Amino acid sequence: MNKPWIAAVVAAFLSLPVAAQQSAVVELAGAWVRALPPTQTNTAAYLTLTNRGDTGITIVGASADLAGKVEFHTAREIDGYMHMEQLQDLPVAAGQSLQLAPGGTHLMLLGLARMPLSGETVHLCLELATGHEVCTVAEVRKTAGIMQAHIYHERQQK
């Protein structure tokens, strides 16, 4: 009997609960996308990501059904001015939450096929370093006030 083959099959079956558990420990809540005028080709998405697991996770990628590309961005104050910069990944410690919010870290939806209208929904997925995806549906909302730094940032993305 081929023992390496049996060991590989057993290892594959034992890893199934781990894969299921990995996606079950990541919770996405309160997802929304900012509605902008139809002339814009980029917008931002926000949500709260909670790692309910006992080990840290890293978000390494993201996608949205209307966007050609999704990047992680953050706002930082440098010499009294707000600047946006791209992040490569988003680490979240065990038992912690990461809030993606206006004025801070957020998802930048680039190269939109069209600007979604207020009240519509956008399908968002986050990819973990493990290769697993966690997805949610985000409501498109108008906002009363938009940060000037964010407007400048979006113009620079064109």
Residue 57 in any domain: the answer is: yes
Residue 146 in any domain: the answer is: no
Residue 143 in any domain: the answer is: no
- Classify 70 as helix, strand or coil: strand
Residue 13 in any domain: the answer is: no
* Per-residue confidence (pLDDT) for residue 78, from 0 to 100: 85
* Per-residue confidence (pLDDT) for residue 86, from 0 to 100: 96
Does pLDDT of 156 surpass 90? no
Helix (H) or strand (E) holding 19: helix 3-24
The share of the chain scoring above pLDDT 70, in percent, equals 75
Does pLDDT of 8 surpass 80? no
* Per-residue confidence (pLDDT) for residue 143, from 0 to 100: 83
* Per-residue confidence (pLDDT) for residue 147, from 0 to 100: 46
Contact predicate 65/123, CB 8 Å: yes
- List pLDDT tens digits, range 62-119: 999 999 999 999 988 888 888 899 999 999 999 999 999 999 999 999 999 999 999 9
Pairwise CA distance, residues 158 & 145, whole Å: 21
User: Residue 87 maps to which CATH number?
Assistant: 2.60.40.1890
Residue 7 in any domain: the answer is: no
Residue 85 in any domain: the answer is: yes
* Per-residue confidence (pLDDT) for residue 104, from 0 to 100: 94
Does pLDDT of 15 surpass 90? no
Residue 61 in any domain: the answer is: yes
| Total domain count, the chain | 1
Complete DSSP assignment for 109-135: EEEESSPPPTT-EEEEEEEETTS-EEE
Residue 111 in any domain: the answer is: yes
Q: Which domain holds residue 126?
A: 24-138
